[in-house]
Amino acid sequence: MTAQRPEVRTAQRAEARTLPALVYLDHAATTPMLPAALAAMTEELAQAGNASSLHSAGRRARRVVEESREIIAEAYGARPSEVVFTSGGTEADNLALKGLYWARVAADPRQRRVLASATEHHAVLDCVRWLAEHEGAEADCLEVGPAGDVSPAALADAIETDPASVGVISVMWANNEVGTVQPIAELAALAAEYQIPFHSDAVQAAGQLPVSLATTGATALTITAHKIGGPVGVGALLLAKGAHPVPVLHGGGQERDVRSGTLDVPAIRAFAVAVQVATGRREDEAKRQAALRDDLIAQVKAAVPDAILNGAAPGPGRLAGNAHFSFPGCEGDALLMLLDARGIACSTGSACTAGVAQPSHVLLAMGADEARARGSLRFSLGHCSEQSDVDALGAAIGEAVERARRAAR
C-alpha cells in the first residue's frame, strides 16, 4: 500500500478541525438506519441463498422473507399476502397508479380519469402525467386548502362530475414537504362508495402515524424502509385482497405475479426490524419529536419574526417531526447553503427534486406566490434528533437569513 504523503494527511486533519459537527435536520429525506436494522442487515449479508430457490439455503432465505412480511403486515393492518415488496416508494407508487389504472381501463375503457392531489410527491404526479401523455389518461387535480389539505367535499365534487369515468384516486397520507396530514379514512371511504380504487403514498406517515390498510379501507398504501430507519432500496406496496394491478415489471413472477425480481433478503429483513422498532415506540417518539419541533418553531420565530410556518398548525393535523418555513426576502437554496456551512443539514423541499431551480409545487398549490415558494426550507426531525440540534439551528438561523437577504438584494 502506498504511504500517504505528509502534506495530504496534514490537509485532511486541518479539514477535520474546520468542518463543523453535523446537525442533521433532514430526516424526511432519509433517516439514519436504526442500530437493530443495521445489525440485522449486516448479519444477513453474510448468508447465501435466493428466496426463490428450492435448496436449503433458498428455503432459509424464504423463511426470512415471509417472517419479515408477517411483521410488516401486522404493523400496518394488512394480511401477509397483501404485502408486495418493491425497491422503494417510487416503484410502489408507479405500480399502484399505473397498474390499477391499466386494470380499470381494461375492464371499462371509460374509466380514464385519474384524480390526485396537487401536492403529491413527484413519484405520483409524474406517474399521472406519464399516464396522460402516453396512455390516454385524463389527469384531474384535486385542489388543496391553504394548509395543503384535501377536503372530502373537494373529492366528492371531483368524483361526482362523472363517477363512471374515474379509474383511480391517489392522495398522500402526509405531505413530505409541509407535513400536513390528510383525512385518509374519510377520503378512502368516499372512494369506496363509488367502488373506485384508492391509493395513498404513506411514505412519510408510516413511521409517525398509526397507518393501517384495513382501518382506512384503502386499496393500496405505499411505504418505504429508509424513512423509518431501514435501508435505502426496499419498500412495499400494501395491496388489498381483490386488487389486481397490471404488473409494471415482468420476469420471474415473484410477489404474487405483481412484482417480478429477485428479492433483496438482507434489505427486507432490515426493513422488518426497522418497522418493528419504529412502530413499537411510535407514540413516545412522536411526543418527543413534537416537543422538539415546537421548540424549533419557537426559536426560529424568535430569531426571524417574519418567518412563515407553512402547513397545518402543530397538532394532530401535522407530522410530529416537520417544521416548514418561508423566509421573506430569501432564496431558499442560498439559505440552505449558508446553514450547511454552519454544519446544519436541511432541505428546500423534496430531496427527489433538490437542486432543481423551481419553486415548490406544494406551496404554489397552497396559494403561495413564487417568491414565498422559492424562499422556503424544511426542517425535519427523526429518531436521533436531540435538543442540541434545535439549539444549533436557533443560534444560526437569524444570521443566515440576514446574509441571504443581503445577497438577494
- Contact at 8 Å (CB) between 182 and 171? yes
Does 155 have pLDDT greater than 60?
A: yes
Mean pLDDT over 348-362 rounds to 69
Tell me how far apart the alpha carbons of residues 42 and 129 are, in angstroms, rounded to a whole number.
39
| pLDDT for the residue numbered 350 | 53
Tell me how far apart the alpha carbons of residues 58 and 64 are, in angstroms, rounded to a whole number.
10
Does 130 have pLDDT greater than 80?
A: yes
Residue whose C-alpha is closest to residue 399's, from 311, 330, 323, 353: 330
Strands 235-239 and 220-224: antiparallel
- Residue 141 annotated among the catalytic residues of the structure: no
- Could you read off the pLDDT of 246-256 as tens digits, one per residue? 999 999 999 99
Tell me how far apart the alpha carbons of residues 236 and 395 are, in angstroms, rounded to a whole number.
40
- Could you read off the pLDDT of 382-399 as tens digits, one per residue? 999 999 999 999 999 999
The contacts of residue 166 (CB under 8 Å, 6+ apart) are 111, 113, 114, 115, 159, 194, 196
Fold of 19-33+282-408: Aspartate Aminotransferase, domain 1 (3.90.1150)
For residue 347, give Cα distances in angstroms to 86, 167, 285, 323, 324.
26, 34, 22, 11, 9
For residue 219, give Cα distances in angstroms to 197, 265, 371.
6, 26, 38
End-to-end CA distance of the chain: give it in Å, rounded.
52
- Could you read off the pLDDT of 296-308 as tens digits, one per residue? 999 999 999 999 9
Mean pLDDT over 106-116 rounds to 97
- Could you read off the pLDDT of 282-334 as tens digits, one per residue? 999 999 999 999 999 999 999 999 999 999 999 999 999 999 999 999 999 99
| pLDDT for the residue numbered 116 | 98
Please return the burial class of 191, using the count of CB atoms within 10 Å of its CB with bins 0-12, 13-18 and 19+. Answer: buried
Which percentage of the chain shows pLDDT scores above 90? 91
Chain centre distance of CA 103: 26
CATH number of the domain located at residue range(s) 35-279 in this protein: 3.40.640.10
Catalytic residue among 127, 346, 352, 384: 352
| pLDDT for the residue numbered 358 | 78
pLDDT, the chain, mean: 93
Which grid coordinates belong to 157? 365534487
**Got the DSSP string for 133-183?**
HHS--EEEEEP--TTSPPPHHHHHHHHHT-GGGEEEEE--SB-TTT-BBP-
Residue whose C-alpha is closest to residue 228's, from 295, 280, 187: 280
pLDDT band at 409 (very low <50, low <70, confident <90, very high): confident
**Got the DSSP string for 56-104?**
HHHHHHHHHHHHHHHHHHHHTT--GGGEEEESSHHHHHHHHHHHHHHHH
Tell me how far apart the alpha carbons of residues 289 and 307 are, in angstroms, rounded to a whole number.
21
Ordered by start, the domain boundaries in the chain are: 19-33+282-408, 35-279
Does 227 have pLDDT greater than 80?
A: yes
